[in-house]
Every structure is written in C-alpha cells, then in structure tokens.
Structure 1
Amino acid sequence: MADRHLLLLLSVAIVARLAPNAAGEPWPACGDTGSFAAGSSYLASLQSIAATLPGNASASPDLFATAADVGAIPEQVSALALCRGDADARSCRSCLAQAFRALPDACAGSKDATIFYDTCTLHYSNIHFLTDDSSWPNPSLLEKNSISVTSEPARFNLVVAALLNATADYAANNSSRRYAAGEAGFNREYPKVYSMAQCTPDLTPARCRSCLADIIAGSIGFFASLSAIGGRTLAIRCTFRYETAPFISGPLMVSLGGTPAPAPAPRVNVTPAAARGRKYSVPAMVPLVLLPILAAINLVACLCLWRRRRRPVTEGKQTYESYSTGAEGMESLESMLMDISALRSATGDFAESNKLGEGGFGAVYKGTLPDGSEIAVKRLSDSSTQGGEELKNELDLVAKLKHKNLVSLVGVCLEQQERLLVYEFVPNRSLDLILFDTVKREQLDWEKRYRIINGIARGLQYLHEDSHPRVVHRDLKASNILLDANMNPKISDFGLARIFGRDQTQGVTSNVVGTHGYMAPEYVMRGNYSVKSDVFSFGVMVLEILTGRKNEGSSNSRHQSQGLMAMIWEHWTAGRVAEIIDPAMNGVFSEDDARKCVQIGLLCVQGNPVDRPVMSSVVMMLGSDTVSLQVPSKPEFFGRNGGAKPGIIASHAALTVSVQDES
C-alpha cells in the first residue's frame, strides 16, 4: 500500500544559471522503481505510447493527454504529457516527440522517469500515478537566474510573491486549462515582472491550487534569498515561472500594480524538513544542497495573508449549505458550482434526444459545454423520494474521492429549484448495457474483461483501504460501472454509500437497500454492511463478466440466481471452467487466467464475510501468478440441500430509498 501512496515531496535540484530562452534544453529526473532492458515488454509498451501520446496531446484543446496501464500486468506503463499553455499544436507535438526519444537514454532505462522542457513535460512510470490524489508524484527542479535585483530587493520579492499567488489563483479557478500568465509593475530597473502558472488539466481547482501552493512555498524563499530576477519550479502536476523579461507568447490574464515594502521582519533561521518519498537522481544536475531562506519570513507572511478571491454568494451555494455536513465539502464545492443557464444550453434545455437514461434519482442527460467538453447531467426529478439523500451523499464525498477508477463529479447546480449533478461523460455508458447485450458483448474480448475486473478491484481498494475517509459503496452492480472510450471501468453512483471511521468495521441499517442479486446474505438478513458486503457484490460482478450471464433480480430471480451460481460451482468442482466462459469470446482467452478469476469470484461470494478476501488481496491475486489462492467453499446461497437458505432471497429489488442507520 505504501508503494501506491507515496507523498512525494520536493526532491530538489538547483540549477544556478538560467538562459532567458532555454527552449530545447532538457531537465531529466529519474526514479528508482526499477529498470527495463532493451527488447522488454515494458519498452514495447513505452514505444506504443510514444507513437500516440504526442499526437493526442497536441490535438487536445488543453495540450494534455495521458495513457493508463498500457501493457500486461505487472509490466504496465502509465504516462502523462503536457505542453505549456501558450504553445501551439505543432511545437507541442515536436517537443513531446523529442522527449520520448531522449528520456529512456537520459534515465538509463528507469521505469519511472520525467523530463522537463521549456515547452513540454513528459512523465511515465510503472506506478499507478494517474489516480490524482492517491499519489502525488512531484519530483521538482528549481532553476534560478544568476542575476539579482540591486534596487528595492525586499519589495521585488513581495511583488513576485503577490504575482505568483494571483497567477496561481487564476490558473486553478478561472481556467479550464489550469493555465494562466500575468504581469506586475515594479520600478525603473525592472519595469515589469512576468509570471506563468499551470497544472495538469485533470486536477480539480482545489487540487491544482494546493499543488501550486506547495511548490511556491517550497521554493520562493530560495529565490527571495538571492533576489533572483527569474526562477521556476518544474513539477509533474504543476509548475510556475517568473521573469523580468517577457517569455510568454500568448495573452496575459493577470495584471497587478506594484506592492509596497513592509516593515522589516525578524531574522529567523529555518531548518527544512527532511524530504520523504521516492529517491530521484537528476543527471547533469548539481547535488541537493541546503540553502538559507532568511528572506522567506516576509514572504510567508505575505502568502498567509493572501486570500483567494471569493465569488459572490450565490443561490446555489446557499442551497448547498442545506445538503453539506462539513466545511471541507463546502469549500471544495464552491469552485464547482455551475450556472443553470449554462447547463440548460449544454443539454438543449434537457432535450429528450440528449437523454442517456433514467433511474430512481431521475434522468441523466448528455451535454456539451462551450469549450467542447462533454458532460453527463443527472437531474433529480420532482417525484423522486430518494434524490435528496443521494445528492447529499454525493456532495459530501465528492471533495474526498479521486481515483481513475471512480467517475469524476465536475460540477453541481442547485439553482431555480433544480438539483443537478454534473459528471464527466463516459462514452461507453454502463457495463450492463454491453455485457448483457447479445451483440455488443462481442466488443468485450478477454483482455478488456480482465482490465475491467482489475480496474473495479483497484477502485474498491481505494474506497475501502486508501481513501480518507474510507467508504462502503453498498450498491455495486454492473449498471453502476461506467466504461470510458478504452473500456476502462469507473465506479459510479455513491448515493447509497456510507463513510466508515478509522476503527469502524461494519454498520447496521433498518432499511436494506440495494439491488437484488448483488447483496450479501448478512446484509439482506440482518442489515449488516461492511467492506466485505462490497466484496460480495464485486464477486458477483466478476462471475457475470466471465460468463456473460446476469445474476438476475427479477420476480423469479430466486431460480435464476440459483441457476447461475449453481452452474458456476458445478463446473468449478468438475474442473470444467472453460465451458462456462462467455461464448461471445469465441474461445479466445487464457484458461489459466479464467480459472483464477472464477476462483477469485467464488472466494468473494463466500457466505461468511470472514472468508472473503479484502480488496488489496484481490488486486494482488489478479496481478500475480505466484500468489496462492485459497480453495473456496460452496456459496452459502445454496445450503446442503441445494436450496436457498430462508431469508436470503428477499424482495429487495433495486430499492433506492433513504437509509436510517441504527449504529
């Protein structure tokens, strides 16, 4: 778990010279998570990414693209490519192509490597770093100009601090590209100071601002101690730069006047905290050094007093207060409030032709924002009896859950008596629409099905073990698994989810809710729910994905459910697993992998929750051929006489009402 959630603080190298136009000069940073050899499958995956990622990034409106988990486990590669916000598509593509050519040699085959150019950044790794805040890969390089300000250095440092914070605010909160450039007036020696701040566009405004705050606070004291006329910090997820000479070719979004000098502050010695995280070697860079930060005290005071410009209190914000249960959620959602007129325009005023589907919460509509990005808008219906509770759950969790295998909430609107949740648009919609369709299921070859199972497992591991707070979903099913353009799964619908405290292991409810066919026996009979009840639901989905058959929840579901489970158990015990694998794959699959996945599915649906594995163990089983798997017992849905135990099959079909927890 520690390997997956390293909080990588600034691993810093200082470059004591700055060419005002350093285009074309690379700054590599190499990780220590292993190396690959010539002819390896890792290199083949990397070359595959190199063939497409520069083009994808340069064609993107944000000049940004990622590639997730390319290749076979455990030699998978993930990559991130970003070009500076003022670059054009041609220079972006050229820079990234050069980065792919240079980085493998610059980092001597390291599996985890980064290269920074003036125009672009490339990072690839065997670590699953694209999970946003579940890992924070920021090996950083500091670069300063060797020239120092000679006139009013203290005021110059304050001007720089104010300008960088204003630029960072704009990039995080006013730009969908997470990019901004600015200027501020100074004096006759240097009439203007110019700035740039940028994050990867997949970060939320709050995460972008946090990232920029970290690198500004971590390096501006060093720049100030030397009164350098220019400097930058280069990090994977965010970067900033300032200069007294223009270096941006595009428009400037921020303009500030000069800042008066404050009264002198006491001189204080500051001892930097020890860096933690992966160790990075930086070719062609000087060693890590400890630097005085005497001038940082004034700047820290300035940064602490700086307040991000607040938007006026809106109807939406006031309405949200009735749903929110904490200040953290309120602060995060403030930046996500969307205007009702924009959503009406995006969806054609909720036109029937844009309707994607409808559930207990209400209808979901496809929309297109002015910048071309596609969204899915969930609209609470007036007749819904459950929407208020679901909406509250979603809003309480949205600021806290970020993972590539969870669907992202990008906005909320609570105006004009509307209750709207705005999600990223996932083009392949839900798993059930493909898996249980006799024609569409042929799209799901073995590799895609294995990737879907693995992705759901990783998303659940994050919810159960790695997120803060820990979450039990309580309504896992194929219709709540969305598939992106590459058939990567995203867990959705947290309306029935429950938050668990650090020491909490289970909860009890008087109202059993969920979807028939996926609910664990202890939940159906006694109202007990825990991470192990989610594991049960996951096991059902695994068996459905493998067989292409639904564990039905209709009125005659008792017999259909028994039929699916009994059929799987019968073939498992007889050693004829290959016979139950979905015939839509035309026999093209690994029998060993299929047998392993069936065994994992059966382990997850064990009647006793204690006998079910935790999700970190499931992820390990899926990713390794050397882990020994326990032998499953007969699923408890079938007693010794082969029938369902009393009370387990109950009429709880797709209930979605509010839940009253008893403990």
Structure 2
Amino acid sequence: MGLCFSGSSYDHGSKAELSRPLPFSGGQIPKWPELNVFSFEELKSATSNFRSDSLVGEGGFGRIYKGWLDENTLTPAKPGSGVAVAIKMLNPGSLQGFHEWQSEVNILGRLSHPNLVRLLGYCWDENQFLLVYEFMPKGSLDRHLYKRDHRTEPLSWNTRLKIAIGAARGLVFLHANENNVIFRDFKTSNILLDGNYNAKISDFGLAKVWPPEKQLHVTTTVVGTPGYLDPEYFLTGLVDGKSDVYGFGVVLLQIFTGMTAIWPTGESLVLWAKPYLSSTEKLKSIIDGGMEGQYSENEALEAAQLILKCIDDDPKQRPSMRQVLEGLEVIETIHENFI
C-alpha cells in the first residue's frame, strides 16, 4: 500500500458504522459479478494454515498467501489442485489497513475489466479481514524491472510495450465517466502480470470515487508513494485523473529504463531523466540495455515525448489517460512496422 504523508488521519468510522451490510451483500449487483464471502477457516484451509511456504508477498496492508480453491465450488482444495488464488490478510490492529480493505471491496466489488485484477471475494470473520483475488503467476512489474534475480530474464521491448498498453487501458476504464475512480497510487508494484504478461492494476486501497460534476477532489491527507506523487497534489491536496497520469508517466519511464523511481540517495528518477528525455543523442543511454536492437529510434523518441507530457509539473498540460493510450498505440504501430 502507499504511504500517508499528512498528519491528518483517516476517518475510519465506528464499529457500528463498519458493521452495516456492504453494498453488494445479499445478492448480485446488476452488471457486476457477485463477490464470494469466505470464512476464516476456509481460507486457513486453502493456504494450509497460512504456512510460510505459501507466503508470496508482504506490504503495508499485510501478507499475501497463495491458496487453492476448487474451481467450481470455490471451497478449499489441496495445494496444486483446483485454481490458485492470492489471499491478502490484513495486519492485526491496522486501522489504515481496514479502511483500505473496505475501499478494495467497495470499488473492485462493482468493477470488472480485463486490466484490473479480479477480486473473487472477501472474509470478515471477527477481527480477521482478508481479500481473495485471482492469482497472477508472473507477479508484480517491479520484480521484472529492478528487483530481478538471476532466474528472471529482462523483459523485451515488445513485452514492456504490451504491459504499458494494458495498464493504460485499465486507467482509462477507471477514469471513464461511469466509474470516476482516481487510483492515487499507480506504481510498478501495483501492476500484476498474468502468465502471458497481460497487465492488471491491483491494490485499490487508496482509490477514490469522485462525483462526475467535480473535476477536482480535495483531500486533507496526501497519500501515495514517494517518486510517483504528482507535485501539484503533494503541495495542494488537489487530486484528479491527471494525478494518475503523472504516476503513469513515472511508471512508463521505469518500464523503458528499468530503474527505480527513487534511488537510495533520495534522488528522483524523474528529475534525473528529464534532460535525457529531451535529447535525441542522450536518450538511448538511459534505455534498459537489455533491449538493445529491439526498437527503432522513432519508437524511443515517441516514448520519450509521451513520458515528458505525462510528468509535466502543470496538470493542465498533461494528456488524459485516453490520449496516453492513443500515444502508446502509435508506438505499437511503429514497432509493428519496425519488426
């Protein structure tokens, strides 16, 4: 999950407020798939008692385990049989985590798109709060860019472009007028990859729905992750879809350079890279060397120009996510002609 920078706290609500039925309980929401309600014992069984060898990830929200459910009944299955799922468990006593758990359920419970991770169900059992997702075998994007081990091959230019386009389609869907969702924490670790490297946006704990008649959402608590935060949002608390565009620009820069958003020295990738993105001569020197010979100069230039537009300090100068997607599709066309 992202970090909370402001001294202001979330309004978590009382236990009485939180115990009211969630919007999707009691039946299927029109147009959206019904979420399954799991007991804690079921998920405990699905993960072999949350065994350490089932642990596949850990973050601010809590731990993520790989579990197994019967494909038809979604009841616990033996490891290696049935369908694999990712089970996210809230850290005990985490109020921020509970708020984010609610956000995940309420937003992903009503949204469905090929480029959003699918939420299968949830568990609210006494003080145990868990979420159950489809399992994404290739893990998060950051693991393929700058957290690679010796077993992980560098992603090709073609695959990186595919991932960028998929993630962009997910954000376009979220920003659409019928959804009006600001993601607020777009980063490489929140992009998951299936077995074919299709990108799916995950981790909706900081996402917000804003009224369509309001172009800006004002928040007293600036949330997100260092290196990806829109400067305007960080300074003023004003956030809209253009804040997600900035985050997407940072991720796109990471996709093509293979670098982290913030270096151990505290230096920002964006500030360091801007001069290189503006120079045809210097541009090639910052593109991940593992992709040499896989792209044309025109593709690299188009990508650099698109990144610069996304990370413009002035939100009004940034494109919409629809325009970003169109820009990526232009690069894809150039690439198809190149190969």
Does TM, normalized by the shorter one, top 0.5?
yes
User: In 1, Cα distance between the equivalents of 2:151 and 2:100?
Assistant: 31
Q: Distance in 1 between matches of 2:16 and 2:194?
A: 29
Whether 2:67 is the aligned partner of 1:367: answer yes
For residues 92-103 of structure 1, the aligned pairs below 5 Å read: none
TM alignment of 1:484-503, pairs within 5 A: 484-503=194-213
SS state at 1:374 partner: strand
Aligned partner of 2:163 in structure 1 is: 452
Report SS of the residue matched to 1:496: coil
Match of 2:18 in 1: 322
Match of 1:343 among 43, 46, 55: 43
Matched position secondary structure for 2:103: helix
Question: Displacement of 1:582 after TM fit?
Answer: 0.2
Does the Cα contact within 8 Å between 1:400 and 1:469 map onto a contact in 2?
Answer: no
CA distance in 2 between partners of 1:578 and 1:405 (Å): 30
Deviations 1:173-214 (A, max 9, x none): xxxxxxxxxxxxxxxxxxxxxxxxxxxxxxxxxxxxxxxxxx
User: 1:365-419 deviations in whole A, cap 9, x for unaligned?
Assistant: 0001134100000001113231110011111112321111100000111124311
Listed as ranges, the matches of 1:283-302 within 5 Å are none
Alignment CA distance shift 1:503-1:440 (3 Å): farther
TM-score (ref. length: structure 2) = 0.83
Matched, 1:595 2:301: yes
Task: Please give the per-residue CA displacement for 1:492-536, whole angstroms capped at 9, x wherever unaligned.
Answer: 000001001121211111111110000000111111111000000
1:615 aligns with 2:326: no
Give the one of 27, 32, 53 matched to 1:331.
27
One-letter amino acid matched to 2:159:
K
How far residue 440 of structure 1 moved from its aligned partner, in angstroms, is 5.8
Query: What are the residue-to-residue correspondences of 1:192-271 with 2, within 5 Å?
Result: none
**Equivalent of 1:403, from 92, 104, 113?**
113
Q: Secondary structure at the match of 2:213?
A: coil
Distance 1:469 1:529 in 2: 16
RMSD: 2.4
1:427 corresponding residue in structure 2: 137
1:550 and 2:260 correspond: yes
Distance 1:324 1:585, change over 3 A: farther
Change beyond 3 A, Cα 1:368–1:394: same
**Which residue type is aligned with residue 406 of structure 1?**
L
Q: Is the 8 Å Cα contact of residues 476 and 534 (structure 1) preserved in structure 2?
A: yes
Identity %: 39
- Closer, same or farther: CA 501–553 of 1 in aligned 2, 3 Å: farther
Which SS does the other structure have where 2:159 is aligned? helix
1:418 aligns with 2:124: no
Distance 1:332 1:409 in 2: 14
**Do structure 1's residue 442 and structure 2's residue 121 form an aligned pair?**
no
Tell me the distance in 1 between the aligned counterparts of 2:250 and 2:180: 22
What CA deviation, in whole Å up to 9, does each residue of 1:188-247 have, x standing for no partner?
Answer: xxxxxxxxxxxxxxxxxxxxxxxxxxxxxxxxxxxxxxxxxxxxxxxxxxxxxxxxxxxx
**Which residue in the other structure is 1:49 paired with?**
none
2:182 to 466, 472, 494: 472
- CA contact under 8 A between 1:390 and 1:496: conserved in structure 2? yes
For residues 479-500 of structure 1, give each alpha carbon's deviation from its aligned partner in whole angstroms, at most 9, with x where no partner exists: 1111111111110000001001
**Alignment match, 1:39:** none
- Paired residue for 1:157? none
Q: Paired residue for 1:43?
A: none
Query: Equivalents in 2 of 1:361, 1:595: separation in Å?
Result: 38
Per the normalisation by structure 1, the TM-score is: 0.43
Match of 2:66, SS state, is strand
Structure 1, 515-524 or 618-627: larger mean CA deviation = 618-627
* Corresponding residue SS for 1:504: coil
- Of 236, 239, 249, 1:539 maps to 249
Secondary structure, aligned partner of 1:366: strand
Aligned residue for 1:443, secondary structure, equals: coil
Return the letter of the residue paired with 1:455.
G
2:232 to 516, 522, 534: 522
Cα distance change of structure 1 residues 370 and 320 upon mapping to structure 2, 3 Å threshold? farther
Residues 453-485 of structure 1: CA deviation (Å, up to 9, x unaligned): 11111100000015x331001011111111111
In structure 2, runs of 5+ residues without a counterpart are 1-14, 72-81, 334-339
**1:344 alignment partner, SS class:** helix
Secondary structure in structure 2 of the residue aligned to 1:419: strand
The one of 94, 98, 110 aligned to 1:384: 94
Deviation (angstroms), 1:605: 0.4
Query: Which of 257, 260, 273 is 1:568 aligned to?
Result: 273
1:200 is matched with: none
1:378 alignment partner, SS class: strand
Closer, same or farther: CA 506–568 of 1 in aligned 2, 3 Å: same
Counterpart Cα distance in 2 of 1:409 and 1:512: 26
Tell me by how many angstroms 1:567 deviates: 4.2
Give the Cα separation in 1 of the matches to 2:45 and 2:332: 54
Going from structure 1 to structure 2, the CA distance change for 1:543 and 1:320 (only over 3 Å counts) comes to farther
